[in-house]
Amino acid sequence: MEQPEELRHVRRLVSSLRARGGVGALSAECLGEVPEVDGVVLSVLAAGAGEVMLSDSGPFADQVEDQHSRSGQGPHLDATATGDVVLADDLRAPAARARWPLFAPEMSAAGVNSIFAFPVSIDGLPVGILSLHRGAAGPLSAAGQARARRYSEAAAVLLGDQASGGAAGGVVLPVYAGELQQAVGIIMEMGGVDAATALHRMRAYAQHSSRPMREVVAEVRTCRPPFDPTAAT
Amino acid sequence: MDDVRLAVRRLIAASARPGTSTGMFLQQVCRTAAQALSASGAGISMMTNDGTRGVCAASDPVSERVEELQFVMGEGPCMDAFATRRPVLIADLGAGAVSRWPGYVPAALQDGVRAVFAFPLQIGAARLGILDVFRERAGPLSATELPMALHFADVTVEALIDRQSDAETAADADSLAADVGHGAQLFQAQGMVMIQLGGSITEASARIRAYAYAQNRRLDDVASDIIARRLRFDKDQP
C-alpha cells in the first residue's frame, strides 16, 4: 500500500493538473519534471479505436505510437497487458530485439533507443499508458521513475473522474486530441481508408518530411492535406 | 432559508453515497432543484473551459431534451451563463429573447418551456458547468427562490469537488475505454462529414447533432454509422 506522503504528492499533482487543463496538459508537465527524457505520451486503450493519444510532448511521440500500432509489439502493449512497468533502456540490445523483433529495430532506426512505459490503471485494470522515451539508450533514474509513476497515478485519477460519469459523453478529449481525430476522419473520407490507416499516413508523412505532427494536423483540418490521402505509405 | 439549506444538503448527501455515479448524482440534484424551485424541470451540463460538453443530467426527459437543445443549436442561456460566468435569468422566453437566441428560443417554447434560469457552477477561476432551471410559466424567480437557486449551484459545486478528490469514485475501466473510443469516433465522424459537406467542422458537427436529435438517436451510434459508412451527409440535402 502506498505511503500517505506519496498519496499527498499525487493529490497535489492532480489538483495542479486539473487547474492547467487535466490530461491534455499532463505530458508536457511530466516532461518538464523528468527532463532526462526527450518526450512523453499519454494514451488510452479505447474500445474499437486502438490507442487514442490524449496528450504528447517532444518530437517522437507520434513515431512511438505509430510503431506500436503498426507492429503490434512494444513496451506499451506489454505494460497494458500485464499492468507492470516496462523499462526498455536499450532497444538496440539483443534482449530487446528478441522481445520485440519488429518494433525494436524500427524504433531505434527512427532514433528512439529507450522507452519507459508506466501503466495507467483504474481499479487495478490498466486503461492506458504513460510512456517516456529518449533518443539515447540508458536507464531512467530512480527519481525519474518515481516522478513518472506519480504522473501515471495522477492520470488514472483524472481519467477515473471522467469515467465515473456514466451519462453520454462522460469523457472529454483534450482539444488537440479531438483535432487529431478530426484530421483522421478527413483522411478517412478523402482516402477511403480506415482510422488506423489514416492516422498512419499522417504520421508517416510527418516523419518523412520532418514536420511537426501538429502542423500536419492543422493543414489537414483546412481540407488541404500536404500529401496524397489515397497513396499507400 | 436555513431550513431549505439544510434540506438541500441532506438531499444531496443522500444522493452522493459511494457507488453513485456522477451522472446519477447530478440527476438527483436536478430533481431536487426542480422540486424546491417549483420548476417544471432542471438540467446540468458539465463543461470544460473551452466549452466542450461533458457529463450531463436532467430531472426528466423533457428537460433533457431542452438541455440538449442548447448544444444542438450552439446557443442559449446556459452557453451565455458559462461564457460570462454569471447567472442568466430569462423570466419570459416569449418576450424579446428570440432575437438573442433565434434558434434556441422557438425550439424551447415548442417544448413547453417559458422561463429559463441558468447558473454557472464555478469555484474561483474553475468552471465546472451550468445548472439550468426550466419553468412552464413566465415570471421571475421570487426573492426566496433566487438565493435558493444560487445555493443549489454552490452546494453542487462543493459536492462535485468532494467527489473529485475521492480517487475511488465509481471509476470503471471499461466505460472509460468505451467513452474514449466513442469520443475519438465522434471527432473522426466530424472530419468525414466535413469533407462530405464541403463545409467547416462546425457545420459538420451541427449536422451530426441535428440528425441525432431529429432521429432521437444517441450521438455515439450516429458516429459509428458514419465511420462504418452506413450513413453519409450530402451537400444538396437539407
Domain range B173-227, CATH architecture = Orthogonal Bundle (1.10)
Residue B47's beta-bridge partner residues?
B53
User: What is the Cα–Cα distance from B126 to A17, expressed in whole angstroms?
Assistant: 12
Residues A93 and A190 in one domain: no
3-state secondary structure of B238: coil
3-state secondary structure of B154: helix
- CATH number of the domain within which A181 lies: 1.10.10
Residues A85 and A132 in one domain: yes
Taking only the tens place, the pLDDT of each residue in B99-156 is 899 999 999 999 999 999 999 998 777 788 899 999 999 999 999 899 889 988 888 8
Give the C-alpha distances (Å, rounded to integers) separating A78 from A73, A88, A229, B16, B89.
8, 11, 32, 37, 54
Instruction: Say whether pLDDT at A166 is over 60.
Output: no
CB contact (8 A) between residue B175 and residue A178? no
CATH 1.10.10 residue spans of chain B: 173-227
C-alpha cell at A29: 508537465
C-alpha cell at B128: 465546472
Give the C-alpha distances (Å, rounded to integers) separating A109 from A26, A57, A64, A106, B126.
28, 20, 12, 5, 45
- The residue of chain B with its CA nearest to that of A222 is B200
- The residue of chain A with its CA nearest to that of B53 is A172
Q: Which residues of A touch B219 (CB under 8 A)?
A: 168-169
Residues A21 and A116 in one domain: yes
- What phi and psi, each to the nearest 5 degrees, are found at residue B39? -105, 165
Strand ranges of the sheet holding A50-57, from the earlier edge strand across to the other edge = A50-57, A39-46, A125-134, A114-122, A86-88
CATH 3.30.450.40 residue spans of chain B: 2-165
Kindly give the residue spans of alpha helices, DSSP state H, lying in A34-168.
Answer: 61-71, 75-82, 94-99, 103-109, 142-163
Answer whether A196 touches B (CB < 8 Å): no
B230: phi > 0 → left, psi -120 to 50 → alpha, else beta; which?
alpha
Instruction: Say whether pLDDT at A1 is over 50.
Output: no
Answer whether A161 touches B (CB < 8 Å): yes
At A147, which amino acid appears? Answer: R
Q: Please state which CATH class domain B2-165 belongs to.
A: alpha beta
**What's the pTM?**
0.64
The pLDDT, as a whole number, for residue A91 is 97
Write out the residue range of the structural domain in which residue A192 sits. 175-221
Residue given cell 442548447 in the structure block = B70
What residues of chain B, 25 to 44, have a C-beta less than 8 Å from chain A? 26
The pLDDT, as a whole number, for residue B55 is 64
Answer whether A173 touches B (CB < 8 Å): yes
CB contact (8 A) between residue A122 and residue B178? no
Taking only the tens place, the pLDDT of each residue in B170-208 is 346 677 877 888 889 999 999 999 999 999 998 999 899
Mutate to test the interface with A, among B67, B71, B168, B176 (most CBs of A within 10 A): B176
User: What is the Cα–Cα distance from A76 to A53, expressed in whole angstroms?
Assistant: 12
